[in-house]
Amino acid sequence: MKNFLLRYVAVMLIVFLPLALSAQTTHQVAEGTDGIKAALAGAAAGDIIELTTSGGVYLENDSLVIDKGVTIRAAAGLAEQPVIRSKARIMFNITADLGIADDWWLKLEGIHMDALLIEGIDTTYVGGLLIQVDGGATYYSLKIEGCTLSNLQNKIMWPGADTYCDSAIYSNNIFQHGLVKNCDGLFFRNAGTVGYVLMENSTFWDAGGMFIDVRDGENTTIGEIVVPEVIFQNITVAGNSQPWPMGIIRGKVTVKNLIISNRAYGYSSGGWFKLRGVEAPGALASHILQDSTNQGKGFGQLNDSLAVLDSTTWQWNVDPMFDDPLNGSFNLQEGSPAIGAADDGGNLGDPRWGVVPRVAVDNKISTTPTKFSLEQNYPNPFNPETTIKYAIQKSGHVSLNVYNSLGQQVATLVNQPMKAGGPHHAIWNASSSPSGIYFYKLLVDGKAQVRKMILMK
């Protein structure tokens, strides 16, 4: 027991002492021109650049140079994501200096990065890369979480020669390339090497290109041959104009819980894969629904016997029954074959999209319910308005309040005496509230019900 405690104390010192000794500074930046560049110049490794203007445009004339580990994020509580736009072809440039210090990451959180530059009444497209990695940048990590990426033309990420990315994590993002539909995603070919790739809980809307492409990821210059682990899960892809959402993959690959849909967009191609597990056995694709009209191309290429498609969980040429895909609503209608079809019993696709209930026609005159009830809001997720239906079994004082994830009340929708009946409707307009998880609580004479909803901007 004594030896265990000594080892535990030693591990805690190793992990937490450097954090305690290092001073992390948050640099707050309001909207304007070249403000992020100035903040980066004054930041130290491990610092945070915090964008404070809700919906504000942060215009950068040059590439943002990342030569130290930093986090660039939206400030808490903003109603809309801050928008970064760049006149340069490359929005972020990771240099070879990143990786020398202990703080060796780039984190982007809660930001809208848009390559569409609007000046006056003219709309000018400035295409290019989101992230360029200079040759020799070794042992860095990348994390993009809760962001929106729009109108990128070329690559989301492009490593140079002799680079090594320890991990690249994309989570809870919206990829919307809009006017330009030839943007590839995580791109590691030959020169650039990656150890671990995770892309999850995200939506690709009206996009294009190969969202993950890892080929021949060997880099002997840095003394390693890395066979990456790639996980691509819980993804909604709609309106993909290119023939595959995933390029030829090298390494240990898991692809699962996907919806790939072009039905509403009229594309004749799209919705199939090129998947290869060359070095590591067990490359697996399962729990996939696609509505590809390119018959016979449902699963394009299994180039190696080590790559396995679990055909028992694959639905091909099936309509996922999106709510309103042309207008960007990928909630599932009741009866969708994607409901309950994921490997964990949940729904296929981005889990932030909910299920839209059918509207029942009721010709009965009686409005007295048989029980006290609070229904799931519709739509869910929503932006910015949602409707909440409820019913009360007997007359009494009714309150319906909305709370954030910290338990703080943010809105009162109902607070009055009401007669028994239902269903009643309350509408919450959350245009002044930030994205996130909220709870709504119905209270009638001491009886309460609570449900969860998601605001996604």
Could you tell me the residue ranges of all domains in the chain? 23-333, 373-455
| Res 244: pLDDT | 53
| Res 308: pLDDT | 66
For residue range 57-114, list pLDDT tens digits in order.
999 999 999 999 999 999 998 888 999 988 888 899 999 887 665 568 899 999 999 8
Angle value at C-alpha 211, between 210 and 216, nearest 5 degrees: 70
**Average pLDDT, rounded, for the chain:** 76
Q: Of 366 and 48, which is predicted with more confidence?
A: 48
pLDDT class for 290, splitting at 50, 70, 90? Answer: confident
The pTM of this model reads 0.71
Average pLDDT over residues 128-145: 85
| Res 83: pLDDT | 92
Assign domain 23-333 to a CATH class: mainly beta
- Percent of the chain clearing pLDDT 70 (strictly above): 68
Domain 373-455 has CATH 3.30.1330.60: no
For residue range 375-432, list pLDDT tens digits in order.
888 888 888 888 898 888 888 888 999 988 777 889 999 988 888 777 788 999 998 8
Whether the pLDDT of residue 44 is over 60: the answer is yes
How far is Cα 47 from Cα 248, in angstroms, rounded to an integer? Answer: 37
Going by their DSSP bridges, the two strands 112-114 and 83-86 should be labelled as parallel
Average pLDDT over residues 36-41: 97
How far is Cα 413 from Cα 431, in angstroms, rounded to an integer? Answer: 15
| Res 50: pLDDT | 98
How far is Cα 114 from Cα 123, in angstroms, rounded to an integer? Answer: 13
For residue range 219-259, list pLDDT tens digits in order.
545 555 466 788 889 999 887 655 455 555 566 778 899 99
